[in-house]
Amino acid sequence: MRPLAPIGLFALLALPLPWLTGSGTVLNLATMVLMLATLGQAWNLLGGMAGQFSFGHAAFFGTGAYATAILQIRLGLDAWTGFATAVLAAVAMGALVGFASFRFRLRGSYFALVTLAFAEVARILANSLEITGAGVGLLLPLAPGLDRLQFTDKAGYYWFALVLCTAGLLIAARIRDTRLGARLAAVRENEEAARALGVDAFAVKMQAIVWSAGLAGAVGAFYTQLFLYLDPHIAFGPQVSVEALLGPIVGGTGSIWGPLLGAAVLQLLGEATRALTGGVTGANLVAYGIVLVLIVRFFPDGMIGLGRPRALDARGVSG
């Protein structure tokens, strides 16, 4: 029960932000931080807790995004039905990717390449099929209303993003503090040893990827409602996969709060870089790259591990 108190406190403190500021820029930034933190948490469930580094989380994000868009535009269903279906569709995609990878014990760079391949195949299909709008994409009609998950002001989107982020934190905390979390940690540290101790590595990794994919699909559905437009490059492009893994790596993989911390730092850094460079295209990506290299080189536990004492090796040297 220990993680629930700080998570509840975070939600309580974040809730009144729209009432404390009239700035649309601040609310936009906060909404993007929460959305990318949830996407990072989705990656963290698989890459951080299970040690299965994915380079293709866009496959799950895009599946969720297109599922809700297609149901609303092509079938005229409400956004809530589309949102639920988006999560289920992403879960199905996660199960497919997981079965194709884990059944044959693919891991490391092989697993990363398989996930990247699935995302690229999905992008090519979305770029070719009429139901997805092909290369033109899909545009949701602007019709504010709770049944369509469209809000008349930015506060509504912020609060919805806060609910998603809080749900991601609760899922991560719940998984970490159960037997599933212990088994995932065992598989992450040494899969052969975990198997020898009786851990069904295939089953626990399948559970991790299904939870991860479902959460990423929910973020994709939220993105659709926020921007009301999708095309294959947005939904399945490499930028989504990169943003999914950057936050957890910078903030701290395997930790509950790492994705949120990393997303906040990267978004603030991006805004500062754009302001200092006058909006030079790609300047924020250069800044992200520098931060990522520094974190990986000097702080492998991420920013959340800065306050932790570093372990000493046999020679008494910090590692």
pLDDT at 24: 86
For residues 291 and 48, the model is more confident at 48
Amino acid at 314: A
Mean pLDDT of 151-155: 92
CA 279/CA 126 separation, integer angstroms = 31
Q: How far is CA 136 from CA 133, 143, 157, 301, in A?
A: 6, 21, 26, 42
Mean pLDDT of 160-180: 95
Cβ–Cβ < 8 Å for 27, 154: yes
Confidence of residue 316 (pLDDT cuts 50, 70, 90): very low
138, containing H or E segment: strand 138-139
Q: pLDDT by residue (tens digit) across 67-102? A: 999 999 999 899 999 999 999 999 999 999 999 999
pLDDT at 314: 42
pLDDT at 319: 42
Confidence of residue 310 (pLDDT cuts 50, 70, 90): low
Amino acid at 81: T
> CA torsion angle for 152, 155, 160, 161 (degrees, to 10)?
130
Cβ–Cβ < 8 Å for 22, 154: no
Q: pLDDT by residue (tens digit) across 242-279? A: 999 999 999 999 999 999 999 999 999 988 888 888 77
Confidence of residue 309 (pLDDT cuts 50, 70, 90): low
